[in-house]
Structure 1
């Protein structure tokens, strides 16, 4: 589902309350209406919108009464900062997802009773300096065939989710810090989006050397890229050799 549409849908407090209630157990319209003190007509309208979006689904019981439940797992992430706004939604990945594609993060599943711990390459926790994370945890605490094994596995996966959330916050903090350092070092031009300076540096690091190449990489007009390069050159972050630009 489109993240913007999902944000708009969840912007209503009563719809969030309905989802919170349905996350505990399936409910009839009358139950939702009574527990939330919302008219049945309004509840039906909210449920229709949630059902159209694929977030809830309805079934009919033996007495032909319709009840509603959460239809699927959806993850919504929102980032708001002085350097940008972004939202993305995703469905949980399959357990067979190839984590080898995560170049900066590794998840090591071990048969141990220790809680997951997020570590950086520098040996610190997610709140200290480092470039990439390593998550060590017990994703296979039991054989999955007994209650104790399932409970242990779920407990460890919840801990892993919490540690990953901490790591995400740390990464976002580092991103904002780098943006701030670039802005502090460059005399920015009001005509240029301040994020463009960072994007131009990334494009140069990826191998782009000419203004047309950089413009294509950052999806910006060549004139704006040229202005950004001039500011970066004054800050002694890039150098020009005829029509080619490189990082210093």
Structure 2
């Protein structure tokens, strides 16, 4: 399911409350119904939609009672700014993913991926899941939560700087006439980002080919961009 459909699905408050409840423990329909204060029939309908989206799964216990639980990790991001709107969904990387191999990652993770891996023996609950002792696991949890907070702050900073830069670009293009400066800023930013073909630029800025062609012509007339054999590029590159 794409991110836009997920956003629509999670727009319902009761479905969000169901997920909050299931994040604590698996539940059966009657428990969820009492928690929400709605009929079991309505709960079943919400659960069906969440199951179809792959967010929730079910199992039947020895007493033939059907329990529901969250099926997998999912991160849904929504970005709203004066220069764009977008949604993005992402699933966690596999346990064996090595962050140190990301070429452009400058953030010092400060984590040893094997710090809490233990020696591979059964853990305390006997289910055979590898893990370190409780102190190691608690320490790793604390570090990961601190890192999550830092990443959140970094995202906020980047979003603010992106808006500032787009504001500056828009002001520089306000005197071009015809359309608003921010549209020219988006087109120029798309070209600077490597979008050389008008068709790709139109998709990136979500505008008609005609509007993009006019913007490219005006930007070229003012020496901001230039035409090459492969399309368009920032002037002087």
Q: Quick one: structure 1 residues 92 and 44, their matched pair in 2 at CA, closer, same or farther if it must change by over 3 Å? A: same
Identify the residue that residue 118 of structure 1 maps to in structure 2: none
Paired residues in the alignment total 214
Shift of 1:67: 1.1
Q: Quick one: structure 1 residues 225 and 41, their matched pair in 2 at CA, closer, same or farther if it must change by over 3 Å? A: same
Higher mean C-alpha deviation, range 23-32 or range 91-100? 91-100
Alignment of 1:99 with 2:99, yes or no, is: yes
Q: Which runs of 5+ in 1 are unaligned?
A: 107-133
- One of 137, 154, 161 as aligned partner of 2:110: 137
Query: Higher strand proportion, which one?
Result: 1
Q: Deviations over 1:65-112 (max 9, x none)?
A: 111110111100000111110001111112333536644423xxxxxx
Alignment of 1:218 with 2:201, yes or no, is: yes
Alignment TM-score, normalising by the size of structure 1:
0.74
SS in 2 for 1:154: helix
Q: Which runs of 5+ in 2 are unaligned?
A: 119-131, 203-207
Q: Quick one: structure 1 residues 183 and 154, their matched pair in 2 at CA, closer, same or farther if it must change by over 3 Å? A: same
Identify the residue that residue 26 of structure 1 maps to in structure 2: 26
Shift of 1:57: 0.7
Distance in structure 1 (CA, Å) of the matches to 2:38 and 2:145: 33
Identify the residue that residue 169 of structure 2 maps to in structure 1: 182
Shift of 1:201: 4.3
Contact conserved, 2:167 with 2:182, CA < 8 A, in 1? no
Alignment TM-score, normalising by the size of structure 2:
0.77
Shift of 1:35: 1.6
Identify the residue that residue 203 of structure 1 maps to in structure 2: 191
Identify the residue that residue 41 of structure 2 maps to in structure 1: 41
Contact conserved, 2:184 with 2:215, CA < 8 A, in 1? no
Distance in structure 2 (CA, Å) of the matches to 1:240 and 1:42: 59
CA RMSD of aligned residues (A): 2.9
SS in 2 for 1:32: helix
Q: Quick one: structure 1 residues 237 and 150, their matched pair in 2 at CA, closer, same or farther if it must change by over 3 Å? A: same
Identify the residue that residue 57 of structure 2 maps to in structure 1: 57
